[in-house]
Amino acid sequence: MNTAKQIATASCMFLLGCGQSVPQSVPNGGTGEDPGYIGSATCLSCHSGLAEPHALHGHANALSVIDGTAPLFPESAVIADVPNPPADFEWTDIAWVIGGYTKAANFVDRDGFLLTAEAEQSPVRYSLGHPPTGTPTGFDVTVSDEISGTEFGFDCFRCHTTGAASVESNGGLRQGNRPGVGGTWSESGVQCEACHGPGSLHIPNPPAGNVAVDGSARGCGACHARDIGIDAIEALAGFIAPYQQSAELLAGPHAGLSCTVCHDPHISVVNDRQAALRNQCITCHPDANMAQHDGKIFVQGDYVERMNCESCHMPFATRSTVSATDAVTGGLGGRIGDVRSHVFSIDVSPRGFDDLLDTDGTRINLDANGKTAVTLDFVCMRCHNGIGRAFELTIDSASQVAQKMHDF
Ligand code: HEC
Ligand code: HEC
Ligand code: HEC
Ligand code: HEC
Ligand code: HEC
Ligand code: HEC
Ligand code: HEC
Ligand code: HEC
């Protein structure tokens, strides 16, 4: 699979020098008809080879319909499991579970409201546990006495469903007639037509295409970017805010690569990492060494990590649901969130995350070329903090070493 030829093709097709990619609209095949959603079961009746990998991807499981019992995930999914509904609720009280597949789950009740804990102002959450931050499995945001349901709005479900339409755009319809839902969708989860567009016009003449195929940062950025867009990076609670892989990619050295140069869009990186990644770092950087960490293994409590390129270049600089406390970082300024960053560049100066923020602290500063780099508090200080099995460094000493990291 990972042949040099494939990369050469990929470079020519996806590097910015060959022309900036633009989002592809779904053509109507010249009939003037509006395309309609036909459902993934129909797609899979012909493309059956994709059934198994797709079912195992986080996309397929981004929203589960609950029918009186716990959400059913594929047996080979390594992390997924939401065994119980929130305290004082039965599964019969729940209409949908959001996620619960790779990081955490939120819950939508039978009336279509997102269960929230009033005190915390955030959705009730079941965490699947995150060893690098020392986060255990279990409910970490629980239902308070006075639960306040917030609308399960378009803002929330548009990225977790297929064919999402808001009440403003669909004539006031609500999924399942549930009053708390701010619109409708054709299928729960990110199914085939979430990326390929409605497929009705593809069926009569498959060779004509009539489906979108955009694996660029812009294409995937329909959901892997926040409302501020892909040319800015939002910060939240001392971390890069979640679902901004597109914006992060563009702010780093790989801006010229499509997501699909590295990712097979149909294979889960969480559940089948080997098959999911089309090109490894060393495929394109054959001369890079392991920066003095060859064969080193990091151990902290029950967490074990064999050092690889991602250990430093894709640190947990993003926080989706949880981050580590001082008990895990040693209070020396290290930071650990729960999503790996896609910036790739490392800032070797002794600066910390706060120095990256703009004046009101909600955005990452980008330089004149729109670039940034992750700071050493996310990189070295995640491990070299005196808590895990790696000697203690200060951010200043880490900076001195980092400047010559690959020179040996
Ligand atoms: C009746 C069988 C059939 C069904 C149903 C079907 N396809 Fe296809 N599809 C094909 C065939 C055959 C091709 C290959 C055409 C070719 O190689 O020229 C194809 C090609 C494609 C391609 C590649 C297009 C390109 O430009 O490279 C995509 C993407 C695709 N299908 C997605 C879908 C999706 C999404 C659905 C459901 C909405 C779907 N297909 C339903 C038969 C089908
Ligand atoms: C712009 C698209 C987008 C919106 C809007 C969005 N999400 Fe997500 N969500 C994602 C992406 C992408 C991921 C996974 C990648 C990441 O976390 O960076 C994700 C992950 C999650 C997860 C973890 C899933 C799992 O299986 O572990 C939960 C839970 C979640 N989102 C809940 C919500 C809730 C609740 C809302 C509304 C308040 C929401 N999301 C709005 C795109 C979105
Ligand atoms: C996350 C977005 C996404 C989802 C979900 C998705 N695809 Fe794709 N698919 C792509 C992209 C992007 C390509 C472009 C070619 C590539 O990079 O592999 C593609 C390529 C294809 C192709 C042509 C090449 C191939 O791999 O055979 C077919 C057929 C296809 N998809 C069918 C499907 C079907 C059927 C589903 C649902 C089971 C689906 N896709 C779900 C993004 C997606
Ligand atoms: C240069 C290669 C590369 C490119 C380009 C790339 N990724 Fe990744 N991505 C990876 C690797 C490697 C991982 C797995 C990291 C790990 O867990 O070891 C990953 C993981 C992810 C994850 C899971 C992160 C987590 O920690 O939960 C998401 C989501 C993701 N990528 C989305 C995207 C999107 C969207 C794009 C395009 C905007 C993209 N990636 C472009 C290499 C890449
Ligand atoms: C319709 C919205 C949507 C689009 C479009 C989309 N994603 Fe996602 N993606 C999500 C959501 C939501 C999640 C979190 C799912 C979960 O874990 O519950 C996610 C998770 C992921 C993950 C981690 C989960 C896993 O099992 O590996 C990767 C990798 C990923 N997306 C890559 C991509 C790539 C590459 C593209 C473009 C080809 C893309 N996504 C397009 C919504 C989307
Ligand atoms: C498909 C090929 C490809 C893959 C896979 C890839 N890279 Fe790159 N990488 C590139 C290209 C192209 C550049 C841009 C060089 C430039 O800007 O001139 C680059 C640049 C970089 C840079 C900045 C180099 C500099 O001189 O500042 C770093 C750091 C980097 N990559 C790390 C990684 C890591 C870590 C991985 C694996 C997670 C990875 N790359 C995977 C192609 C790739
Ligand atoms: C222990 C942490 C660490 C590991 C592991 C690591 N790097 Fe680096 N890497 C760095 C630091 C720090 C820099 C310096 C950043 C700079 O110069 O801006 C760097 C620089 C780079 C650069 C750009 C400068 C150069 O020397 O070419 C590339 C490309 C790169 N690394 C690729 C990789 C690849 C590929 C791997 C895995 C084989 C890897 N790195 C493993 C920390 C690491
Ligand atoms: C994922 C954890 C992790 C990260 C990230 C990490 N290291 Fe390490 N590092 C280790 C472990 C584990 C060892 C081996 C410790 C031992 O043998 O006592 C090590 C060893 C070292 C060594 C000694 C190398 C040798 O020849 O024995 C240096 C120097 C070092 N790290 C510096 C850094 C710097 C600087 C950074 C950030 C750019 C960094 N490390 C990032 C875990 C990490």
- The two tokens of residue 313 are 């270049």
**Is residue 24 within 6 Å of ligand 1 at its C-beta?**
no
Give residue 145's pLDDT band: very low, low, confident or very high (50, 70, 90): low
Question: Rounded CA gap, 339 and 323, in Å?
Answer: 10
> CA 176, CA 170: separation in Å to the nearest integer?
14
Rounded mean pLDDT of 128-140?
A: 94
Q: 285 C-alpha vs ligand 6 centroid, how far in Å?
A: 7
- Inform me whether the pLDDT recorded for 146 exceeds 90: no
Q: How far apart are the first and last CA of the chain?
A: 31
Residues 6 or more apart whose Cβ sits within 8 Å of residue 73:
61, 64, 80, 81, 100, 101
Chain segment 9-46, per-residue pLDDT in tens: 333 233 322 222 323 333 333 455 678 999 999 999 99
CA 116 – ligand 5 centroid, Å: 24
Residue bearing the CA closest to ligand 2, atom 2:
223
Q: What value does the mean pLDDT take over residues 349-372?
A: 95
**d(C-alpha 53, C-alpha 348), whole Å:** 39
Lowest model confidence (mean pLDDT) among 4-8, 83-87, 118-122, 362-366: 4-8
In the numeric block, which tokens belong to residue 226? 């926040």
Best residue among 250, 254, 308 to mutate for probing ligand 6's pocket (most ligand atoms within 8 Å of CB) is: 254
Evaluate if residue 182 carries a pLDDT over 90: yes
Query: What's the pLDDT at 290?
Result: 97
Kindly identify the ligand whose nearest atom is closest to the C-alpha of 344. 6
The count of residues in the chain is 408
pLDDT value of position 297: 98
Q: What is the pLDDT of residues 53-79, one digit of tens each?
A: 999 999 999 999 999 999 999 999 999
Ligand 2 geometric centre to CA of 63 (Å): 10
* Residue of 202, 203, 210 with the most ligand 1 atoms within 8 Å of its CB, for mutation: 202
- Band the pLDDT of 293: cuts 50, 70, 90: very high
Highest mean pLDDT among 17-31, 144-158, 357-371 belongs to 357-371
Residues contacting residue 204 through CB under 8 Å, at least 6 positions apart:
29
Q: What is the mean pLDDT of the chain?
A: 90
Quick check: 348 and 403 in contact, CB under 8 A?
yes
Spatial separation of the C-alpha atoms in residues 56 and 39, rounded to whole Å: 18
For position 147, what pLDDT does the model report?
60
Distance CA 239, CA 231 (A): 17
Check if 47 has its Cβ closer than 6 Å to any atom of ligand 1. Answer: yes
Q: Which residue has the tokens 């002794």?
A: 350
Nearest to 344 by CA among 285, 385, 296, 300: 285
The per-residue b/e assignment along 321-342, b for 16 or more CB within 10 angstroms, e otherwise, is bbbbeeebbbebbbbbbbbbbb
**Which of 41-50, 145-154, 358-367 has the least mean pLDDT?**
145-154
Q: Tell me the per-residue pLDDT of 254-289, one tens digit each, with 9 for 90 and over.
A: 999 999 999 999 999 999 999 999 999 999 999 999
- Nearest CA among 135, 47, 163 for reference residue 321: 135
What's the confidence (pLDDT) of residue 117?
A: 84
**Ligand 1 atom 2: the closest Cα is on which residue?**
46
The finding on whether 312 has its CB within 6 A of some atom of ligand 7 is yes
Tell me what pLDDT residue 141 has: 85
